[in-house]
A = this chain, B = another copy of it.
Amino acid sequence: MLDTLNSQDSAWRQRAKAVLPNGMYGHLSTRLLPEVYPQFFARAEGAMIWDVDGTGYIDFMCAFGPNLFGYGDREIDDAYIAQLRIGDTMTGPSPNMVQLAEAMVAQVSHAEWALFCRNGTDATTSAVMAARAVTKKSTILRARGSYHGTSPWCTPVQAGTTEADRSHQVWFDYNDVESLRAAAAEAGGDLAAIIATPVNQHTFLKQQLPTADYARAARAICDAADAMLITDEVRSGFRVVQDGIWDRLGAPPDLSAWGKAIANGHCLSALLGNARARPGIEQIFVTGSYWFSAAPLAASLVVMARIKDGAYLSRITDTGERLRAGLDELAARHGVGFEQSGPVTMPLMTFADDPDFRAGYFWCAEMLKQGVYMHPWHNMFINTAMTDAHIEATLAAADRAFGALKAARATLPPNTRLFGASADR
């Protein structure tokens, strides 16, 4: 049956095998997802995606974050297209670069300047470079398991990197003030920066919200050591508050990295910083062929106007709360140990006593077959295009999927697809 249903996807996978590394690379490879997941997609609109065989799904991955206002948002895309027709990648920047910097500085408490780039990794790497330049020190503290991109200094897979790429790094445990202090002590007089995701979003593990004590301890350590506090908001930015998350916890960073939601799918990332960090960013040389392109900035200006307005946030929060409560109730009724973690707008859904994710894979596959695209070990995202009808359909699918899981769980085979793969992401 799968062969018939997914014949287009199978055909594209065959062609892809010949000309793309591993048939598909990076975080959009379905290699570590249940086998039933399609690899190639034909179309996206609002809260929905359609695979190349024409099957539609309510998409809770939101392109891994960029989709905040729905796929193909007309106003945002029209702004992009209008600017593209006037001038996009030119020999000089457009003034809208200044306007967007002003809008982001106005929105994010600690920000006094902005630098625009393309990848989240560009922003996190530039932040580390700026911190080293301004402090004239080298050591950075990182939380174990936190993802900051795939530059050699931070890619989670060591293949192709050298030990030197990871030099001057000391690790600590998220939300653990003692561990953070011990790492700072190890850095001694060479502490350049602490880099942290505002919310702990490890793959495979339950998410953790930061405690105010932990965030403020990081701020205090940086103050005492004349070091820079860097938050990596690439995934979380504007999905929880209309500001930097740690600004709201009383631990404003000196530098922060942004991306994904800030342009609703158009290619844009940004590094924001305060006056203290400015001499650092003004010393380093970072640039890129497309870092000054005007069209993504035009799209982001529409996004930032909506961020400022704030109605989007109550909408996605309401949607996320409704989904969380509905799923919890269904799971309890079926008596399956279902766990939801992280902010309701960025939920991670896992099962208790499921070390190899066999229950999660089964449940996600059951959801997928009913037209709901979920992820068994990566946090998901809520967007404003999700309606009550989408949530109702999702809950109806979940009811059946929990039932199927309950019936099948005792006989589920080991998860050979993921087995041995956790170090591979």
Q: Does A282 contact B (CB under 8 A)?
A: yes
A95 adjacent to B20 (CB under 8 Å)? no
Chain B residues, Cβ within 8 Å of A16: 97-98, 101
Chain B residues, Cβ within 8 Å of A340: none
Number of copies: 2
Q: Does A40 contact B (CB under 8 A)?
A: yes
Closest-by-CB residue of B relative to A259 is B289
A41 adjacent to B91 (CB under 8 Å)? yes
Which of A59, A85, A286, A425: most chain B Cβ within 10 A? Answer: A286
Chain B residues, Cβ within 8 Å of A287: 25-28, 150
Chain B residues, Cβ within 8 Å of A284: 155, 157, 159-160
Which of A131, A157, A160, A283: most chain B Cβ within 10 A? Answer: A160
Q: Kindly provide the distance from the CB of A418 to the nearest chain B CB, expressed in whole angstroms.
A: 16
In the assembled complex, the Cα of A80 lies from the Cα of B88 at a distance in Å of 13
Chain B residues, Cβ within 8 Å of A67: 89
B19 adjacent to A101 (CB under 8 Å)? yes
Chain B residues, Cβ within 8 Å of A101: 16, 19-20
**Residues 79-109 of chain A, each 1 if its beta carbon lies under 8 Å from chain B, else 0:** 0110011111111111101100110010000
B290 adjacent to A66 (CB under 8 Å)? yes
B150 adjacent to A92 (CB under 8 Å)? no
A87 adjacent to B132 (CB under 8 Å)? no
Closest-by-CB residue of B relative to A293 is B267
A292 adjacent to B28 (CB under 8 Å)? yes
Q: Kindly provide the distance from the CB of A308 to the nearest chain B CB, expressed in whole angstroms.
A: 16
A120 adjacent to B289 (CB under 8 Å)? yes
- Given A26-B287, A43-B86, A129-B161, 6 more A-B residue pairs with CB atoms under 8 Å apart are A19-B112, A41-B90, A119-B122, A129-B155, A133-B159, A155-B286
A-B contact pairs, 12 of them (CB 8 A): A12-B98, A18-B102, A30-B92, A41-B92, A59-B90, A80-B84, A81-B81, A88-B265, A118-B290, A125-B151, A152-B153, A159-B284
Top 8 nearest A-B pairs (CB, nearest first) are A26-B287, A129-B160, A157-B285, A89-B265, A133-B160, A160-B284, A44-B87, A19-B101
